[in-house]
């Protein structure tokens, strides 16, 4: 084989240029389809490299987007139920939504015995009542406990004396697990008295403040389940720890949800 190839190479070297040009042209005609096979199988739009800029967002931005997603999902569920009921009994259209008052946080009291904020409401304090819900970063952070001439005090959901009706939304579920959420006196909240045999609670499940007549008309996110285990005193029940989605110690402003606001508050 070696001598055959060597002889062929020598012959090509001494062959006239016109002849080798014709041989090259014939080879291209015969082998061209084979050489083009690789080009046809390559993707026309190759995927960008994994480390391409713009493919990732920061953790803070991700948490913000997830908060918005959870609230939008809760609102969608509420709308589905509302319009199903409207279609069934042909009731009147829903009432206009609540008003919002944005206030400056002028004091933060975070101690083992007290977890509160003080808001500067100014002249709009007259529209605020105890029990109204307060939001921070689009999540429920507490309720109004006291109202003064131009300020109001907010009791945070993590306060050890705070209790709210709540609902847990399992992954892929359309109905909430009704429960109540209690402040733990630290940076978390607690949910108890849920039978283990009835509910498969998992870390990461979203927890919402539920609709409350005169105070809240649509579920709004509080936080997510950060830990779940059998209750030490009652092993047949769950001991659920909830981590609020908002870090209240960094808040500069908070929003009070005012139900059925008068015209003076604006839209």
Is the pLDDT confidence value at 151 over 90? yes
Fold assignment, 60-257: Thrombin, subunit H (2.40.10)
Is the pLDDT confidence value at 91 over 80? no
What pLDDT sits at residue 34? 61
Is the pLDDT confidence value at 57 over 80? no
pLDDT digits (tens, 9 = 90+) for 58-85: 888 888 889 999 998 888 888 887 677 6
Range of weakest confidence among 1-15, 93-107, 203-217: 1-15
Rounded distance between C-alpha atoms, residue 253 and residue 138, angstroms:
11
What pLDDT sits at residue 32? 64
What pLDDT sits at residue 20? 62
Range of weakest confidence among 7-11, 46-50, 99-103, 185-189: 46-50
What pLDDT sits at residue 52? 54
Is the pLDDT confidence value at 56 over 80? no
Averaged pLDDT score across all residues of the chain: 83
Is the pLDDT confidence value at 39 over 80? no
Tell me which range, 45-54, 87-96, 126-135, is most confidently predicted by mean pLDDT. 126-135
What pLDDT sits at residue 267? 40
pLDDT digits (tens, 9 = 90+) for 183-241: 999 999 999 999 999 999 999 999 999 999 889 999 999 999 999 999 999 999 999 99
What pLDDT sits at residue 76? 86
Is the pLDDT confidence value at 94 over 50? no
Has this prediction a pTM greater than 0.85? no
What pLDDT sits at residue 228? 97
């Amino acid at each position: 084989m070696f001598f055959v190839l060597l002889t062929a190479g020598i012959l090509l070297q001494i062959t006239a240029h016109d002849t080798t040009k014709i041989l090259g042209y014939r080879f291209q005609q015969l082998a061209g389809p084979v050489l083009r096979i690789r080009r046809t199988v390559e993707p026309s739009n190759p995927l960008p490299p994994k480390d391409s800029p713009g493919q990732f967002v920061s953790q803070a931005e991700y948490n913000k987007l997830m908060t918005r997603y959870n609230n939008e999902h809760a609102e969608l569920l509420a709308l589905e139920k509302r319009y199903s009921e409207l279609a069934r009994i042909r009731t009147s259209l829903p009432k206009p939504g609540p008003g919002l008052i944005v206030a400056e946080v002028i004091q933060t009291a975070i101690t083992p015995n007290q977890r509160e904020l003080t808001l500067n409401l100014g002249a709009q304090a007259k529209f605020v009542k105890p029990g109204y819900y307060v939001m921070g970063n689009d999540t429920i952070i507490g309720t109004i406990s006291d109202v003064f001439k131009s300020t109001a005090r907010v009791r945070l959901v993590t306060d050890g004396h705070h209790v709210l009706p709540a609902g847990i939304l399992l992954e892929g579920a359309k109905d909430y697990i009704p429960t109540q959420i209690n402040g733990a006196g630290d940076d978390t909240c607690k949910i108890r008295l849920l039978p283990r045999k009835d509910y498969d609670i998992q870390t990461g499940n979203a927890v919402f403040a539920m609709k409350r007549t005169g105070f809240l008309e649509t579920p709004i996110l509080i936080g997510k389940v950060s830990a779940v285990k059998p209750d030490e005193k009652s092993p047949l029940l769950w001991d659920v720890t909830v981590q609020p989605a908002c870090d209240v110690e960094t808040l500069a402003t908070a929003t009070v949800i005012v139900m059925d606001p008068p015209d003076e508050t604006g839209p």
